[in-house]
Amino acid sequence: MSSDLPIIAYLTGIVVISLFVNMGISLYGVFAKPSLIKKLIALTILSDTANVFAILVGYRRWPPGSVVRPPVLTELPPTPEKIARFASTAVDPLPQALVLTAIVIGLAVIIFLAVVIMQIYRTYGTTDVRIISKLRGERR
Amino acid sequence: MKYERALIAAAIIVFILVLSYAVALGAMGAALPPPDLRELAKNYLKLTINPWMRNLTVMSPEAVTAIVWDFRGLDTFFETAVLYLAIIGTVAIYRGVYTSRKTVAEDEEKGGMSPIAKSVTKITLPMVLAVAIAIALHGHLTPGGGFQGGSTAAVILLLVLVVFSLHFSMHKGITKGSMLALRSTGLLGIAVTSVLVLILGLLVGCQAFIFQNQPKAYAPAGLPATLDGMLISGTLILFNIFECLAVAAGLTLTFILVLTHEEEIRSAMKGDKHE
């Protein structure tokens, strides 16, 4: 990760690695925790971390003296100069649009899983997968 | 069990190290974040509002909304379908559960939280509603849009459900049926808007596409970008309004289902008849 300033590369590296560590912790929660609710919480942390990583990939590097703007043209009406300046300072809008999509789908999945877990609790009286996997159709 | 957990932890540590090493080697590009944008992103930024390239532009100063509802409109269409399939799945799980309206009208003021919470909610409701409508209607001009506005509007209805009790809300018309109807109206609006320019083109007799917004080359049909001097960006404002309606109603529907009284669900699961 080359950069103009070593401190920027160092700090960016810390951010990237902490995102990966966050992903690893949430994956550990999904795999190793027996409670379905804890698995769901870990899953939300995983999706949020992935979203933050996508935003980071779509960001524009900020060497000293540079200008980084959100992908919204604020000076209306547009002129060719304003559009050229906008395209040379704004960040990538595509990852933001994809993350918006991912958040909506993540919300839908979380709602559905939460309701399914509630129903599992009502039926079996527990959310522990070790107990649920040993049940053979009978209710507790 | 201890052995399994240690194995999982070791595998995840290896996963983190491999990912970090891949990024350090340049898997995500030589520098992260990149010093310059890709050509695709530059094209999106240049074309989001560009009156000198009328055949390619969206005429919306907000590049993210332009991508979400025009450049990649079909993606968003199917994403909306995923959201509503999840909500339909939730409704299907709660089939047979009817939140009762047996409570008499005089004790509905007693339900819910304290008068302080109710008064504060009454004061803040119009403010939150104004913010939600502003976010949804300005989706093509400022950050935000139909989904964000709809989520904010769902907060209002959730506040009513929690603070004024479920029975009071049912009495006022926030029911499963009305929310399903509103949500279906929003979905129908999105579906009609996605083929609106196609229908216009067929009526006029020229070529047109699904999810077309502005006039394109060889397809001169399109919706106006401005209305009486205001920038409306063609289909974007319609998409935002209908998405706001559909998301607000859909999220409220799931809140109603989740807040249903436990005894009613239990009795429905036993097979009891409910009227």
The answer to whether residue A137 scores a pLDDT higher than 70 is no
Contacts of A122 in chain B (CB under 8 A): 265-266, 269
Task: Give the pLDDT score at A4.
Answer: 62
Cα(B256)–Cα(B260) distance, integer angstroms: 6
Q: What is the mean pLDDT of chain B?
A: 85
In this complex, is the C-beta atom of A59 within 8 Å of any C-beta atom belonging to chain B? yes
Confidence of residue B243 (pLDDT cuts 50, 70, 90): very high
- Residue in chain B lying closest to A119 (CA): B93
Domain membership of residue A125 (yes or no) is yes
Q: Where are chain B's structural domains?
A: 60-270
| CA–CA gap between residue B222 and residue B85 (Å, rounded) | 31
What's the CA gap between B164 and B243, in Å, rounded? 27
Phi/psi-derived region of residue B135, left when phi > 0, alpha when psi is between -120 and 50, beta in every other case: alpha
Distance in Å, alpha carbon of B5 to nearest chain A alpha carbon: 6
- Within a domain: residue A137? no
Residue B98: pLDDT band (50, 70, 90) is low
**d(C-alpha B182, C-alpha B173), whole Å:** 12
Min Cα separation B194/chain A (Å): 18
Tell me whether residues B87 and A108 touch, CB distance under 8 A: yes
Query: Do the Cβ atoms of A73 and B15 come within 8 Å?
Result: no
When the pLDDT of each residue in chain A is averaged and rounded to a whole number, the result is 86
A25-29, A54-58, B269-273: least confidently modelled range = B269-273
C-alpha separations of A108 from A102, A121, B175, B212, B252 in Å: 10, 20, 20, 27, 13
The tokens 């929690």 sit on which residue?
B162
CA distances from B35 to A6, A55, A56, A89 (A): 15, 14, 12, 11
Residue of B239, B244, B240, B205 whose CA lies nearest to B221: B205
Average pLDDT over residues B247-274: 80
Cα–Cα dist B47/B70, whole Å: 12
Asked if pLDDT for residue A18 goes beyond 90, the answer is yes
Model pTM? Answer: 0.85
Percent of chain A with pLDDT over 90: 30
CB within 8 Å: A32 and B67: no
pLDDT at A117: 93
pLDDT at A1: 45
In the predicted structure, residue A135 carries a pLDDT above the cut 90: no
**pLDDT score for B53:** 81
The ipTM value here is: 0.82
To the nearest whole angstrom, how far is the Cα of B121 from the nearest Cα of chain A?
Answer: 25
Task: Return the percentage of chain B with pLDDT > 90, whole number.
Answer: 23
For residue A91, what is the nearest residue in chain B, using CA coordinates?
B37
**In angstroms, what is the C-alpha Rg of chain A?**
22
Task: Evaluate whether residue A30 is within a structural domain.
Answer: yes
Q: Is residue A77 part of a domain?
A: yes
Q: What pLDDT, in 10s, does the model give residues A30-52?
A: 998 899 999 999 999 999 999 99
Mean pLDDT in residue range B94-100: 70
Residue A42 lies in a domain: yes
Model confidence pLDDT, tens digit, residues B187-210: 999 999 989 888 988 898 888 888
Chain centre to alpha carbon of residue B243: 6
Which pLDDT belongs to residue A19? 93
Instruction: Write the burial class of residue B238 (CB in 10 Å: 0-12 exposed, 13-18 middle, 19+ buried).
Output: buried
Does A138 fall in a domain? no
* Contact yes or no for B212/B221 (Cβ under 8 A): yes
Q: Which chain B residues are closer than 8 Å to A121 by Cβ?
A: none
Q: How many CB atoms lie within 10 A of CB B139?
A: 29
Distance of CA B188 to the CA centre of its chain: 14
Average pLDDT over residues A104-130: 89
What domain range includes position A75? 6-132
Contact in structure between A96 and A58 (CB atoms under 8 Å): yes
- Residues of chain B with Cβ-Cβ distance to A21 below 8 Å are 16
Which amino acid is located at B173 in the chain? Answer: G
Q: Which residue has the tokens 């919470």?
A: B117
Neighbours of A116 (CB within 10 A): 15
pLDDT at A50: 93
What's the sign of the alpha-carbon dihedral A7, A9, A11, A14? Answer: negative
Domain containing A120 — which CATH number?
A: 1.10.287.3510
Range with the poorest average pLDDT among A89-93, B41-45, B101-105 = B101-105
**Res B83: pLDDT:** 87
Nearest CA in chain B to A23: B16
